[in-house]
Structure 1
């Protein structure tokens, strides 16, 4: 039987969010290759550049929408964990009560009680698995929303700035080993995303 701890211990928000955004660079493969590309916040961006990049690690750590999304998922995960834990404890109490009084029961009573407890155990297992699946579905749904939100912004941003391509840089991702700081638009992107999100929340 799966316990709540096994089902819910890894909400894994950092990994989840990274996976949700990784499609921006068209390659989810990660290696241990390191890079010294800085996430410059003050270097002026070359206005003539047609290919620029965003530091994905910085974006995910500073975008307020991601922080709120993380909070929503944590709340849902904790609520589901508490619910499953309460149900598990209720069944455990019934089992303990049966064990204490089993010697005073007739054979038929013991058989009927054991069947009932076994059925409850199976129902609990199914419920806990469904609850875990729901948490995963919520994570997947939030990933899609995050990707669509950033993708739509980047499309309009590139059109406004005249960029032909916006790449993402992430430490350890070999798809981009180096980018000139003058091509780093991370600071402006984070600021404008946060401004838009703050406006939407009002």
Structure 2
């Protein structure tokens, strides 16, 4: 039973956060439009009126309490599913071993009936494994979408309030931006605000 897995790897986290970071373009004639296509953007020389900042997605994933809570929740579900399936698998293996010991003393009809029963149990274990994997993946998609929404909604507001034209993302594991001046980084202030917002929502 090895299909249950968690996609909570550092690379997937970075990709999720890269998608979440918003590219804001607040023109004088536009109200508040945004784009999340930050992965193809690069830091370049721009007029001083067009402010560009970036967020370190590695730091964001490590420090954002909401994301950490979701990660722990999903990891606990994966562990429980693995434990449950392992227990069922071990029980099945014991039945198989018991049958193998007794097969020589059983009649042909008894052997056939036992083998059919064991085959059904094996199929059931495979279905349970697949269903658990599908359920975990659905939960991950739902929870990560909630994180995405939380980050993007805050960044839209934050970019508007501070006159940022673009909010890029930087990550060693997903280096869409090859270089970023540390003076343009706003990760800490964003994480602080997100955690305060999350704390107030939890209350």
Normalised TM-score (structure 1): 0.80
Change (3 A) 1:174 1:109: closer
Distance 2:194 2:145 in 1: 17
Q: Is the contact made by 1:11 and 1:74 (CA closer than 8 Å) also made in structure 2?
A: no
Normalised TM-score (structure 2): 0.80
1:94 matched to which residue of 2?
95
Distance 1:125 1:182 in 2: 53
The secondary structure found in structure 2 opposite 1:7 is: coil
Q: How does 1:137-156 map to 2 (within 5 A)?
A: 137-156=138-157
Change (3 A) 1:27 1:160: closer
Change (3 A) 1:131 1:9: closer
Distance 1:27 1:169 in 2: 10
- Across the aligned residues of Structure 1 and Structure 2, the Cα RMSD in angstroms comes to 2.2
1:87 shift after superposition:
1.3
Q: How does 1:19-98 map to 2 (within 5 A)?
A: 19-23=15-19, 24=21, 26=37, 50-98=51-99
The secondary structure found in structure 2 opposite 1:147 is: helix
Aligned residue among 6, 11, 18 for 1:15: 11
Deviation sequence 1:2-45 (CA, Å, 0-9, x none): x2xx323554442332222121362668xxxxxxxxxxxxxxxx
Higher strand share: 2
1:172 shift after superposition:
5.3
Distance 1:158 1:21 in 2: 17
1:182 shift after superposition:
2.6
1:34 matched to which residue of 2?
none
Distance 1:91 1:171 in 2: 45
Show structure 1 runs of 5+ residues with no match: 30-46
- Of 47-56 and 105-114, deviating more is 47-56
Show structure 2 runs of 5+ residues with no match: 22-35, 41-47
